[in-house]
Amino acid sequence: MLSGLGAGGALPIPLRSLWNCRFAMLRRSHSASPAPRATKRVRIDHLTSEDFKNGVFLAPMVRSGVLPTRLFALKHGATLVWGPEMVDKAILHAERAVDPVTGVISYNGKTRAMFTTHPIEKPYLIYQIGSSDPDLAVQAAKTVMQDVSGIDLNCGCPKPFSTHAGMGAALLTNPDLLCSILTALRREMPPEITVSAKIRLLPSQEDTLKLVERIVNTGISALTVHCRTRSMRDKDPAVVERLREIVMFVESMGKGIAVIENGDCLGWEDAHRVQSATGAHSVMIARGAESNPSCFSPTPLKDVERTLVPAYIRLARYLDHNWGLTKFCVAQLKGQHMDVKKAEATLMRQTLSQSKDFHGMSEIVGTWTGKEEFEDIVKTIEAYPPREHRLVVFDAFAPQPTPSPPDEYEQPETTPPGTQNPEPPGSGAPFLPSNPLRGVLPAMLSGHDAVTPTPGGGVALM
């Protein structure tokens, strides 16, 4: 269907006709129905492709995208959160257990928890699979589907441990396999579980569009494009300028699929810049959130050594999170300094590097009241469901908007007339538009089943 791009990246004639045709149809449908994204939201408690639009998401991150980080991201305004990539086989024989006190759900391997989650994050949690086998991918997805809202396929990891087994970025050059995994997942998952994919750019735009067309036709709900090629390193600037054409191409296919930009977005305010520059429906943040999970808020926490580190450690301890992973994540936390002096920050980092367990941080953290941290997060999430943390509605087909001042973001077009923000956000709380779904989402803490099917056995991760 698609053929080569002309010199200078111009669309060739067959591709351009296809494009123009779809583009014209879309333009017509836009004028017939002026604000399709402003239509009243249907009251449903599972994700649809619309939930992947106008959001700012926490990216999948091995080691860093763990439960405490995800909970802080949700508290501070992440619309949806991706878990770290789990290789399909690693979860298959894990034993599911529920902590009767905290509600934490662990998928335990032989020596450690492979994946932990909590029912409070389920409505917003996308579980990412590394796979090169449709059957294994489906089995892995079925293993966890009771605890997540969506399954994402990692098609972008360039690391040899992933690509040598045909997973991650290796799938980009094996589109038949890539699409067969997505097709199998979509066929075998119940409709309330979304299926999505995360890819990197291919070196040529034409090949990227061909791949995107095939992926979109598998029936996925959302496609994340990490705007780097497989050979680019994270320090290379993301080539976001290639995304607009991809977004418009996907829009022209008329399936309503969300295209999510990933690469070099720093936080909530920056997400507006990225969205304007690319036309992407949503934006996904990795390293910015690894450094400061409150980056999803228009007022991200500053002085993180004082404001976030103690809270992170208390929460991790309460959730019985692995100390080694906690230490790693805390070591990544960075933020602007306002009141914290260099000496205080240095003391925290030295204490952290010398600590062999949670107790080593007692002087920094104070009393172990992690339960309060957790309850505060639950309260915030229940009061302001993250699904309603939305970027201003953006139309990829409209003339490029000029940047708006921050307070204009506070009136998203999706807000139904007559509804009000229930309470003003507190200090450091995310910006929260009014919430038409309030009260519709399940009572997330009370609603989960403590009885745990245990498939038995466990294998090591990756």
Q: Which residues bind ligand FMN (CB under 6 A)?
A: 59-64, 84-85, 128, 154, 156-157, 198, 226, 234, 262-265, 285-288, 290
| Minimum CB distance to ligand FMN, residue 66 (Å) | 11
| Minimum CB distance to ligand FMN, residue 226 (Å) | 4
| Residue 176 burial class via C-beta count within 10 angstroms: exposed 0-12, middle 13-18, buried 19 and up | exposed
| Minimum CB distance to ligand FMN, residue 419 (Å) | 32
- Identity of the amino acid at 178: L
Our answer to whether residue 21 is catalytic in this structure is: no
For ligand FMN, give the closer residue by CB, 28 or 334: 334
Cross-strand partners of 151? 127, 195
| Minimum CB distance to ligand FMN, residue 120 (Å) | 22
DSSP 25-86: HHHHHHHHSS-GGGSPPP--SS--GGGGSS-EEEPP-TTTS-HHHHHHHHHTT-SSEEPPPE
For ligand FMN, give the closer residue by CB, 15 or 202: 202
Residue 197 to residue 306: CA distance in whole angstroms = 37
Closest CA to 256 of 7, 6, 2, 26: 26
Long-range contacts of 340-345 (CB under 8 A, 24+ apart): 340/303, 340/305, 340/306, 344/305, 344/306, 345/305
| Minimum CB distance to ligand FMN, residue 445 (Å) | 27
DSSP 341-381: -HHHHHHHHHHHHH-SSGGGGHHHH-S--HHHHHHHHHHHH
The residue whose two tokens read 């080691």 is 63
| Minimum CB distance to ligand FMN, residue 265 (Å) | 6
Residue 307 to residue 296: CA distance in whole angstroms = 16
For ligand FMN, give the closer residue by CB, 123 or 288: 288
Annotated active-site residue in 21, 155, 157, 227: 157
For ligand FMN, give the closer residue by CB, 162 or 414: 162
Task: Count Cβ atoms below 10 Å from residue 380 Cβ, excluding itself.
Answer: 21
For ligand FMN, give the closer residue by CB, 64 or 435: 64
The residue whose two tokens read 């906690």 is 326
Asked whether 65 and 82 are in contact (CB, 8 A), the reply is yes
Residue 82 to residue 408: CA distance in whole angstroms = 28
Asked whether 27 and 367 are in contact (CB, 8 A), the reply is no
For ligand FMN, give the closer residue by CB, 81 or 361: 81
User: What are the catalytic residues?
Assistant: 157
